[in-house]
Amino acid sequence: MYDDTALRRLLIELAASHPEHAAVIRAFTPLALARGKLLDAYALSRKTKPLDGFPMFRFEELPVCSEKSGAIASAVLEAVAEGFPGAREQVEAVRDALKPGSVRRLCKASLAHDPEPLALFAEKNSLSPDVLDMVIAQTVKILMARTANSLPEAPFDPARKTCPYCGGKPELSVVHEKEGHRSLFCTDCGRHWRFQRTACPSCGCDKPDNLRLHFAENTPDERAVSCKNCGHYILEADIRKRDLALDGAAIVCLGMGYLDALMQEQGLLPLGESA
Ligand SMILES: [Zn+2]
Ligand SMILES: [Zn+2]
């Protein structure tokens, strides 16, 4: 039986400990819960044999079936309508216009980083391009995670800066276990892999005193880690004092928007972005 008690508790705790982000956390709560439920309901059987080569799959190769992508998109639409009541009308319009076949086509375009089919579809059906983009992007992320979750663990390579499963960029760093292991979470498929503690996940620079930690005095376990060498930063959560499974840790960054703002004020760039 799928049980999301821990995820629900974490979302409530986060909103309580970060009142300034509570509105954002509440808006994304239905989506986070729907994602967990969909990944459980549509799980692929886990492959046990290691596959050849990394990344193990690429965006463009992802199988996108009409029926499943349609069902996933409709659950995403429901979650977006619940989380963003102010956009309910726009969400309803997207729901009416999207047929399973068009979801599949738009997901394929999004996977191939081709914005045109989405723009045309929004225009033709008088939809809000932002709402359509969000629904398709979230559907694609769930499809990516579904495939990635079926893959066996990648062999440890301490210097691996991109996702071994899909080739995506890391969006969050998590310090866990007594030994202070560090794992990076993928923006696209949501899986994580071990990475060396002292190196920059953007440029790989591993010199003493190169990384700087930035945090608010009362929350040292939530920080941004910036690199003097390349000027990029990544958000990092230290979950060693929390009762939190590593898989659930990515949700913690919903409460860390203040660190993004602080870093960008200092002219530092999120990973993967160039000036
Ligand atoms: Zn990935
Ligand atoms: Zn760097």
Distance 16 CA to ligand 1 centre (A): 30
The predicted pLDDT at position 248 comes to 80
Of 122 and 243, the structure prediction assigns the larger pLDDT to: 122
Q: Please state the separation of Cα 140 from the chain's center in Å.
A: 11
Give ion ligand 1 contacts, CB < 5 A: 163, 165-166, 168, 186, 188-189
Furthest-apart CA atoms within the chain: distance in Å: 56
The predicted pLDDT at position 52 comes to 65
Instruction: Write the CA distances from 156 to 122, 138, 194, integer angstroms.
Output: 43, 29, 7
pLDDT-derived band at 160 (thresholds 50, 70, 90) equals: very high
The DSSP output letter for 54 is: S
Distance 208 CA to ligand 2 centre (A): 13
CA–CA gap between residue 107 and residue 32 (Å, rounded): 19
pLDDT in tens, 4-13: 999 999 999 9
pLDDT in tens, 183-236: 999 989 999 999 999 999 999 999 999 999 999 998 999 999 999 999 999 999
Distance 173 CA to ligand 1 centre (A): 14
Ligand nearest to the backbone CA of 56 = 1
The predicted pLDDT at position 163 comes to 93
pLDDT in tens, 170-189: 999 999 998 899 999 998 99
- Dihedral angle over CA of 176, 181, 186, 191, nearest 10: -70
CA–CA gap between residue 41 and residue 43 (Å, rounded): 6
Distance 165 CA to ligand 1 centre (A): 5
Amino acid letter, residue 106: L
Ligand nearest to the backbone CA of 234 = 2
Give yes or no for a contact between 35 and 7, defined as CB atoms under 8 angstroms apart.
Answer: no
Where does residue 155 fall: left (phi above 0), alpha (psi -120 to 50 degrees), or beta otherwise? beta
For residue 155, say if its preceding peptide bond is cis, omega within 30 degrees of 0. Answer: no
Distance 180 CA to ligand 2 centre (A): 20
The number of beta carbons lying within 10 Å of the beta carbon of residue 132 is 22
Mean pLDDT, rounded, of the chain: 92
Distinct helix (H) and strand (E) counts, the chain: 8, 7
Over 70: is that where the pLDDT of 60 sits? no
